[in-house]
Amino acid sequence: MTEVALSCKCGTLKGVLHDASPSTGTRVVCYCKDCQAFARHLGAHAVLDAQGGTDIYQTLPRNLEITSGAESLACL
């Protein structure tokens, strides 16, 4: 079982992705306008590839544990 530590840039929000593997998730590249607009809004242009795609690993919510900073989590 592979665990991946996750954190926002400032370190306020932290978590762990449990059981990360090709059999428990799917890697995709998303080219939708929402992902592109979100990256631009955050000033995170580097997450977009040359064609404007965002690399995403999709998994089940039960595999994600937020360990600190949940009160700072918000939607845009």
Question: Is the Cβ–Cβ distance between 41 and 48 less than 8 Å?
Answer: no
One-letter identity of residue 63: N
Question: Is the Cβ–Cβ distance between 38 and 52 less than 8 Å?
Answer: no
Per-residue pLDDT of the chain (76 residues), as tens digits, is 699 999 998 999 999 999 999 999 999 999 999 999 989 998 988 999 999 999 999 999 999 999 999 999 988 7
Residue 33 C-beta-side C-alpha neighbours within 13 Å: 0
